[in-house]
Amino acid sequence: MKPGLVLQHGDWGPPAILGDWAAERGIPLRVHRADHEPLPELDSPSFVASLGSNYSPVDTHVPAVAAELELVGAAVQRGIPVLGLCFGGQVLASVLGGTVERAPEPELGWHRVNSKLPDLVPEGPWLQWHYDRFTLPPGAAELARSDRALQAFVHGPHLGVQFHPESTIEIVQEWARLDGERLCALGIEDGPGLVEAGRRHAAAARAAAFKLFDAFWERSRAL
């Protein structure tokens, strides 16, 4: 089995729960640090997963962003399944013809996601940390949304989500610490506490993440 290619964009954004899922399922992963290494050639990985980033897909003046848009676009053209998580979901939406725009309100912490297809994208509170949002690409099917943004879509074997199924509370709390100045401007004084307030959702979110990754994997193998 070819390993899945995971694009990581910083020390603060590891595969985490996605990595745990792959290890439990016996699915090999190749984690590539896209923030400081040139992107690899596409050697027919079993799938490509793009994780969170400090950048937006609209930042095409950043060479690493432009290169990732090109790589994900090539994966789509070749029929290699793509799993886009937050920034990765925005990248996938972009290469499929959707747009990425500033969200009227950021989604920070735990937010309810309502799903049209819970077997693929489970409902319930998910961890979120984003200031932008994507629109539905042409030919894609909307799967889930919150009261502020489209949250998930599917296009052939590809799945893009706006939330962070791969991340733990501890990881997102570190983002909140790094984002302190930005949060203060929004009137949020305790970002880590905002994330901690949803601790009761953590076990269910982890189980839902495994369900989402299982469904993506099974669907990608069937199409």
Both structure tokens of 105:
């309100």
Which residues are known to be catalytic? 86, 164, 166
Kindly report the pTM of this predicted structure: 0.97
Helices then strands, each counted (H, E), the chain: 7, 9
Spatial separation of the C-alpha atoms in residues 153 and 81, rounded to whole Å: 13
Could you give all domains of the chain from N- to C-terminal order, each with its CATH number? 4-222 (3.40.50.880)
**Per-block mean pLDDT, blocks of 10 residues, the chain (223 long):** 96 98 98 95 95 97 97 98 98 98 96 97 96 98 97 98 98 97 96 98 98 97 85
- Beta strand pairing status for 100-115 and 124-134? antiparallel
- Whole-number pLDDT of residue 219: 95
- Whole-number pLDDT of residue 124: 87
182 Rama class: left (phi>0) / alpha (psi -120 to 50) / beta = alpha
User: Cβ(62)–Cβ(68) under 8 Å?
Assistant: no
